[in-house]
């Protein structure tokens, strides 16, 4: 009999980690999740992810939770030595660029050093195993804001044919304002690339746009679509920070992220980088997201407008998905933005009235 495939997922109680756990459990993998609910430390009770850990423990017989901080270098080493996983998906992070400014050491220790802890242990104990790192489009800093833009009725858009398909992996990450979060994630991104290029580990960096879905514990500082929909459902005020509410994000459902991760793990390459988002088709501005949420809740969005944009925030960002599709032609986006918003609305209703 073939030995069972073992997947190690860090940040397993978070949006992406939990989706990946469910996806690979269905494929027959043994799933080992690492999470210490650090999101509740970063964002307070609204960021608590224990509910999601319990959901995985109750619904997935093949799921094993490890209460481990990825900053615990010896602990990470021991776990990888014991498991020697077939593949690693690293999704644990301090994920907010605004929060990072207040906690620079925690941010860097989790995002950069935590990633290095995992890479070193992976090289030592399972160098053949694909290693997928969830990076971010914030590695490009605010440089996307230098692209010529046009203002449309409800959104900004690129006014340069070079970006008709969005931002590609060749975009410079240098000499722009990243936020401390963008800097710590860029450090980890380069480390993951280096473990591929220098040590030939099958690593990849997925530079996420807005990764979203029903299992996000969205808060004002992270998880914009989940949080926006939550405000709409609860009829609470959403705060727009600058750019007339026309700032554009590209949104990808966590399930489509998990499907790409599966494609990569099935046919890994070394030291690759992919921009992973919803692309132009699944992009929306805040104003457009309000309208979409209203379609499913019936409530117009309550909001206030603040003139000051967030430092380093993108005015318009959508990912060029062509490299992902060229390398993995069987992969494509399957969940439309409407479908995703519908699922998020339903999830917030469920979470407000647990059975
Ligand atoms: N959601 C997005 O829009 C988005 C966009 C771009 C990139 N990303 C990246 O994708 C990854 C996953 O994001 P997400 O939205 O699922 O985040 P999330 O906050 O929902 O999940 C991250 C999980 O990691 C855990 N964690 C944090 N620090 C930890 C530590 N030191 N040790 C163990 N566990 C720890 C948290 O408790 C949380 O459950 C992150 O690396 C993030 O930077 C996310």
Q: What is the dihedral of CA 308, 312, 317, 320, to 10 degrees?
A: 180
Cα of 226 to ligand 1 centre, how many Å? Answer: 14
Q: CB of 100 within 8 A of CB of 184? A: yes
Which residue, 258, 220, 229, 250, is CA-closest to 96? 220
Using most ligand atoms within 8 A of CB, pick from 23, 36, 93, 226 the residue to mutate for ligand 1. Answer: 93
Using most ligand atoms within 8 A of CB, pick from 43, 144, 205, 211 the residue to mutate for ligand 1. Answer: 211
Which residue, 264, 265, 251, is CA-closest to 214? 251
pLDDT tens for 114-164 read 999 999 999 999 999 999 999 999 999 999 999 999 999 999 999 999 999
Q: Does 71 contact ligand 1 (Cβ within 6 A)?
A: yes
Of all protein residues, whose CA lies closest to atom 1 belonging to ligand 1? 211
Using most ligand atoms within 8 A of CB, pick from 45, 46, 92 the residue to mutate for ligand 1. Answer: 92
pLDDT tens for 86-124 read 999 999 999 998 899 999 999 999 999 999 999 999 999
Cα of 313 to ligand 1 centre, how many Å? Answer: 19
Structure tokens at 44: 């307070």
Q: Does 114 contact ligand 1 (Cβ within 6 A)?
A: yes
Greatest C-alpha distance within the chain:
63
What is the number of alpha carbons within 13 Å of residue 292 lying toward its C-beta? Answer: 24
pLDDT tens for 258-293 read 999 999 999 999 999 999 999 999 999 999 999 999
Structure tokens at 169: 């992996």
Rg of the chain (C-alpha set): 19
Beta strand extents in 107-192 (DSSP E only) = 131-136, 149-151, 156-158
Q: CB of 233 within 8 A of CB of 341? A: no
Which residue is associated with the tokens 């009235």? Answer: 353
Residue 185 burial class via C-beta count within 10 angstroms: exposed 0-12, middle 13-18, buried 19 and up: buried
* CA-92 nearest atom, ligand 1: 24
Beta strand extents in the chain (DSSP E only) = 6-10, 30-34, 63-66, 87-90, 131-136, 149-151, 156-158, 203-208, 210-212, 238-241, 248-253, 272-276, 283-285, 303-306
The mean pLDDT value for 48-64 works out to: 97
Residues 6+ apart with CB under 8 A from 221: 43, 96, 98, 99
Q: Give the per-residue pLDDT at 354.
A: 58
Distance between CA 53 and CA 30 in Å, rounded? 16
Structure tokens at 217: 């514990």
pLDDT at 25 over 60: yes
Residues 6+ apart with CB under 8 A from 26: none
Residues 6+ apart with CB under 8 A from 261: 20, 23, 89, 132, 206
pLDDT at 2 over 80: no
* Residue 221 binned pLDDT confidence (cut-offs 50, 70, 90): confident
pLDDT at 23 over 60: yes
Pairing of β 248-253 and β 283-285: antiparallel
pLDDT at 355 over 70: no
* CA-208 nearest atom, ligand 1: 6
The mean pLDDT value for 44-57 works out to: 96
Q: Give the per-residue pLDDT at 1.
A: 60
pLDDT at 36 over 90: yes
Q: CB of 29 within 8 A of CB of 6? A: yes
């Amino acid at each position: 009999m073939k030995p069972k495939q073992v997947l190690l997922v860090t940040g397993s109680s978070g949006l992406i980690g939990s989706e990946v756990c469910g996806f690979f459990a269905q494929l027959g993998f043994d799933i080992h999740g690492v999470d210490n609910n650090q999101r509740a430390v970063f964002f307070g009770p609204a960021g608590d992810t224990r509910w999601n850990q319990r959901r995985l423990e109750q619904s997935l017989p093949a799921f094993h939770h490890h209460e481990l901080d990825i900053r615990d270098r010896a602990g990470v080493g021991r776990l990888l030595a014991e498991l020697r996983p077939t593949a690693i998906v690293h999704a644990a992070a301090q994920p907010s660029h605004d929060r990072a400014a207040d906690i620079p050491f925690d941010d860097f220790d989790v995002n950069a050093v935590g990633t290095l802890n995992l890479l070193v242990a992976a090289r030592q104990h399972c160098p053949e195993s694909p290693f997928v790192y969830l990076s971010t489009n914030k590695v490009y800093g605010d440089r996307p804001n230098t692209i010529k833009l046009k203002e449309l009725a409800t959104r900004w858009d690129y006014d340069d044919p070079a970006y008709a398909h969005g931002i590609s992996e060749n975009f410079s990450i240098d000499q722009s304002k990243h936020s401390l979060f963008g800097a710590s994630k860029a450090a980890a991104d380069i480390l993951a690339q280096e473990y591929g290029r220098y040590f030939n580990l099958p690593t990849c960096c997925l530079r996420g746009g807005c990764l979203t879905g029903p299992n996000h514990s969205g808060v004002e500082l992270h998880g914009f679509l989940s949080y926006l929909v939550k405000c709409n459902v609860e009829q609470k005020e959403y705060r727009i920070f600058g750019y007339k509410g026309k700032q554009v994000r590209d949104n990808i459902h966590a399930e489509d992220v998990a499907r790409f991760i599966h494609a990569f793990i099935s046919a890994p390459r070394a030291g690759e980088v992919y921009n992973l988002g919803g692309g132009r088709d699944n992009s929306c501005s805040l104003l457009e997201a309000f309208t979409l949420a209203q379609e499913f809740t019936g409530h117009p969005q309550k909001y206030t407008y603040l003139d000051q944009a967030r430092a380093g925030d993108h005015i318009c960002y959508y990912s060029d998905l062509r490299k992902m599709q060229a390398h993995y032609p069987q992969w494509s986006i399957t969940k439309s933005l409407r479908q995703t918003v519908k699922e998020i609305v339903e999830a917030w209703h469920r979470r407000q009235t647990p059975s």
